[in-house]
C-alpha cells in the first residue's frame, strides 16, 4: 500500500495494475477453483493463473478526518462512497471492459465490514439502476458484472471500518474494532451471499494484519492476537458455508515499533514455514503476500516519523532482493512440504507517469521479472484511479476524469507498460495439473478425511498428515485393548484395531479409521532425535519427530511414564 501518514509501523493500501490483450482461451474456464500443489486449477483440473488487479473503493477511501463528503478528505481526492472506485465516472461495463483489455482475468474486490451493514443509499453513479441502492447492493451488481464477463472475483475483507488503509486506524487486526466472532460471522454472510456464483472463487480473509499502538499480532501463540488461529477458524466456517471457495491467508504485515534499536519487521509468510494451515478440504488453501519497493523486510515504508535506517526493497542488490523474496514468501511454492500452496502476490505496484525515482522504477522491473521467472499469481494495486488532464495519483492502471475520459497504461506515455505487458503475456504453465501427494500439519484431533497420520512429535503435540484413502467412520483408542504384541516393552501402547490406520492424535488418544492394509511392521523410536524421511518439511520445529514412510501408516504409539510419545508402530 501507498503511504498516507505514518504514526507507527504501517504500510498503506495503494498499488496498481497495467494492460495487455485478453486471450480467448482464458475466458474458457470453469469454476469453482481448487489447488494442486502450488498451482490453482479450474473445475477440470486445468491451471488457472490469477492475473489480477485490485478494484478498491468499497473498503473505504476516507482518510479519517474532516468532512467525509469533501473529496479532499479522501485518499488522493478519490472519493468512492463505499463502492468500487470510478462508478461515478464510468459505467460498470466500461470499467470491466478496460480490465479485460489490459489482460486481467480476475479481480480482488475489497470490502469493509462497515460497508456490508451501511443502509445509506448511494447516488451519482453512471449506471442509473444503481442509484438509490445501498453500498452492498452496488457491490452485488459489480460482482455480477465481473463474473458475467468471465472475470473471477476474490472477495477481500480489506478493512473493518470504511477508512483508507493502512495506518493506526482501528483496522490493524481482524478484531481491533470488532470481535473475532463478529468478523467470522460477517465472512459466513458474504460467503453464503455469493456461493451460488462459481466465478466468485475466493475469500481473502484480511488485509495487512499489523501492529496497533500497543500490541503485535502473532502466529501461533493461541491468544486473541493470534492470526494463525483466527484465520484457521474463519477458514473452517467458510468451508462449512461455501465449500467451493478458495481460502486465502495473507501473512503478517508488520510487528514491532519502527524505531532504530527496537525490534521491528515484516514477518510476511515466514511463520508458515513451521506452522501452516490445514483445511477440512486442503485443496482450497492459498497464501498471499504484499510487496512494494518503498517498504522493506524491516522498513515500514515511512518517511519522517516511523522511518528507520533499514533498507527498502528497492535499495537491495538484485541477489539480496531475490533472497529476501524467497525467504519471506516465495518458499511457499516449494514442493511436497506441509506448507506447499499457491502463492498469490495480492498487492504490488508503483507510481506511473510521474514516478521519477530510478530506484522505484528499477524495483518494479525487477519484481515483475521475479513474478515471471516463478510463474507467480499476482494482483496489481490498483486497477482504477482518477485523473485531471492526465495528472493526479498515477498508481492505477486505468484512470478516468470527471467527464469520463480514460487514461490507460497502454496509451504510450506510461513507462510501466512494457513491464505490465511482459507480465500478463509471460509464458506460463497451462493445461492439466496432475494431483500430487499432499502433506499437512495435524492442527486438530484428526487429519483431513482424505489423509492419514504419518508423523508425531515427541513433545509439542504436533503431527503430520499425508495423502491417504478417504475415510469417514473412526474409532478413538485410549487404552491397550487392541495391542496384539509387546512391541515396545515397558511402555504404554495405544494401537489401532486390525485393518485400521491412525488418522488423528491428541494427548493420550489415537484416532483410527478402517482404511489400512498390510501386516509388515517396524518400531520407530524418536525420543532422542529426529527419525524420519526428508518429506513434508519441518512440521514440528524444535521438537524430536517420528515419521513413518509414505507407504506406511501409523498403527500404534508407545508412551513413556509421562505419557509422552516415544515410538511409533509403522505398518505396511
Residue 557 neighbours by CB under 8 Å, 6+ apart? 456, 493, 494, 495, 502, 505, 510, 565, 567, 568, 569
Q: Are strands 439-441 and 463-467 parallel, antiparallel or unpaired?
A: antiparallel
Q: What pLDDT does residue 277 have?
A: 98
Contact of 95 with 108, CB cutoff 8 Å: no
Task: Quote the CA–CA distance of 454 and 475 in Å, as a whole number.
Answer: 17
In this structure, what C-alpha cell is assigned to residue 438?
Answer: 499432499
Residue 550 neighbours by CB under 8 Å, 6+ apart? 437, 454, 466, 533, 535
* Cα 193–Cα 198–Cα 202 angle in degrees, nearest 5: 70
Q: What is the DSSP letter of 260?
A: T
Average pLDDT of each block of 10 consecutive residues along the chain (572 residues)? 38 32 60 98 98 98 94 95 98 98 98 98 98 98 98 98 88 96 98 98 98 95 97 98 98 95 96 98 98 96 90 97 98 98 98 96 98 98 96 95 97 97 97 96 95 96 96 95 95 96 95 92 96 95 96 96 96 95
Q: Which residue has the cell 523474496?
A: 325
Q: Which domains does the chain have, with CATH numbers?
A: 34-425 (3.20.20.80), 439-571 (no CATH)
Task: Quote the CA–CA distance of 341 and 109 in Å, as a whole number.
Answer: 22
User: CA separation (Å) from 51 to 21, 22, 23, 108, 153?
Assistant: 12, 11, 12, 10, 11
In this structure, what C-alpha cell is assigned to residue 317?
Answer: 542488490
- End-to-end Cα distance, the chain: 52
Segments in 66-129 forming alpha helices (H): 92-101, 113-117
Contact of 294 with 314, CB cutoff 8 Å: yes
With 0.85 as the threshold, say if the pTM is over it: yes
Q: What pLDDT does residue 82 have?
A: 98
In this structure, what C-alpha cell is assigned to residue 505?
Answer: 492424535
SS3 534: coil
Identify which of 241, 206, 200, 244 has the alpha carbon closest to the alpha carbon of residue 227.
206
Q: What pLDDT does residue 305 have?
A: 83
Contact of 361 with 315, CB cutoff 8 Å: no
Amino acid at each position: 500500500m501507498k503511504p498516507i501518514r505514518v504514526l507507527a509501523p504501517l504500510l498503506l493500501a495503494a498499488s496498481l495494475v497495467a494492460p495487455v490483450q485478453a486471450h480467448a482461451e482464458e475466458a474458457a474456464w470453469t469454476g469453482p477453483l481448487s489447488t494442486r500443489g502450488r498451482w490453482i486449477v479450474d473445475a477440470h483440473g486445468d491451471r488457472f493463473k490469477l492475473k489480477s488487479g485490485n478494484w478498491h473503493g468499497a473498503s473505504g477511501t476516507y482518510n479519517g478526518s474532516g468532512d467525509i463528503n469533501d473529496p479532499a478528505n479522501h485518499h488522493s481526492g478519490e472519493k468512492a462512497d463505499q463502492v468500487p472506485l470510478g462508478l461515478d465516472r464510468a459505467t460498470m461495463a466500461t470499467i470491466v471492459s478496460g480490465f479485460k483489455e489490459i489482460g486481467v482475468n480476475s479481480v480482488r474486490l475489497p470490502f469493509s465490514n462497515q460497508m456490508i451493514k451501511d443502509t445509506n443509499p448511494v447516488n451519482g453513479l453512471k449506471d442509473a439502476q444503481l442509484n438509490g441502492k445501498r453500498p452492498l447492493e452496488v457491490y452485488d451488481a459489480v460482482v455480477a458484472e465481473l463474473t458475467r464477463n468471465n472475470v473471477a472475483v476474490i472477495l477481500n475483507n480489506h478493512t473493518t471500518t470504511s477508512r483508507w488503509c493502512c495506518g493506526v486506524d482501528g483496522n490493524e487486526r481482524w478484531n481491533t474494532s470488532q470481535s473475532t466472532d463478529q468478523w467470522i460471522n460477517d465472512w459466513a454472510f458474504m460467503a453464503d451471499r455469493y456461493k451460488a456464483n462459481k466465478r466468485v472463487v475466493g475469500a481473502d480473509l484480511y488485509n495487512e494484519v499489523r501492529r496497533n499502538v500497543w500490541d503485535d499480532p502473532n502466529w501461533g501463540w493461541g491468544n486473541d492476537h493470534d492470526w494463525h488461529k483466527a484465520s484457521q477458524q474463519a477458514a473452517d466456517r467458510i468451508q462449512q458455508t461455501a465449500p467451493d471457495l478458495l481460502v486465502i491467508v495473507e501473512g503478517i504485515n508488520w510487528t514491532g515499533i519502527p524505531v532504530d534499536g527496537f525490534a521491528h519487521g515484516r514477518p510476511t509468510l515466514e511463520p508458515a514455514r513451521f506452522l501452516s494451515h490445514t483445511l477440512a478440504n486442503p485443496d482450497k488453501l492459498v497464501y498471499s503476500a504484499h510487496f512494494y519497493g518503498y517498504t522493506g523486510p524491516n522498513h515500514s515504508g515511512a518517511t519522517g516519523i516511523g522511518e528507520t535506517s533499514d533498507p527498502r526493497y528497492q535499495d537491495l542488490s538484485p541477489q539480496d532482493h531475490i533472497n529476501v523474496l524467497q525467504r519471506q514468501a516465495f518458499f511457499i511454492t516449494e514442493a511436497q512440504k506441509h506448507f506447499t500452496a499457491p502463492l498469490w502476490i495480492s498487492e504490488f505496484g508503483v507510481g506511473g507517469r510521474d514516478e521519477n525515482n530510478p530506484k522505484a522504477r528499477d524495483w518494479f522491473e525487477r519484481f515483475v521479472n521475479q513474478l515471471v521467472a516463478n510463474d507467480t499469481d499476482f494482483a496489481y494495486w490498483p486497477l482504477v484511479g482518477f485523473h485531471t488532464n492526465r495528472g493526479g495519483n498515477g498508481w492505477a492502471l486505468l484512470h478516468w476524469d470527471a467527464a469520463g475520459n480514460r487514461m490507460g497504461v497502454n496509451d504510450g506515455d506510461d513507462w510501466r507498460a512494457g513491464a505490465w505487458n511482459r507480465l500478463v503475456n509471460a509464458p506460463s504453465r497451462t493445461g492439466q495439473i496432475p494431483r500430487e501427494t499432499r502433506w499437512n500439519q495435524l492442527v486438530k484431533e484428526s487429519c483431513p478425511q482424505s489423509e492419514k497420520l504419518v508423523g508425531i512429535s515427541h513433545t509439542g503435540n504436533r503431527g503430520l498428515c499425508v495423502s491417504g484413502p478417504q475415510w469417514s467412520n473412526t474409532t478413538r483408542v485410549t487404552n491397550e485393548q487392541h495391542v496384539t504384541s509387546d512391541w515396545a516393552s515397558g511402555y504404554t501402547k495405544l494401537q489401532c484395531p486390525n485393518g485400521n490406520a491412525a488418522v488423528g492424535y491428541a494427548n493420550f488418544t489415537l484416532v483410527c479409521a478402517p482404511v489400512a492394509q498390510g501386516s509388515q511392521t517396524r518400531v520407530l523410536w524418536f525420543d532422542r532425535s529426529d527419525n524420519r524421511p526428508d518429506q513434508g518439511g519441518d512440521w514440528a520445529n524444535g521438537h524430536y519427530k517420528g515419521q513413518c514412510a509414505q507407504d506406511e501408516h501409523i498403527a500404534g504409539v508407545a508412551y513413556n511414564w509421562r505419557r509422552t510419545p516415544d515410538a511409533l508402530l509403522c505398518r505396511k
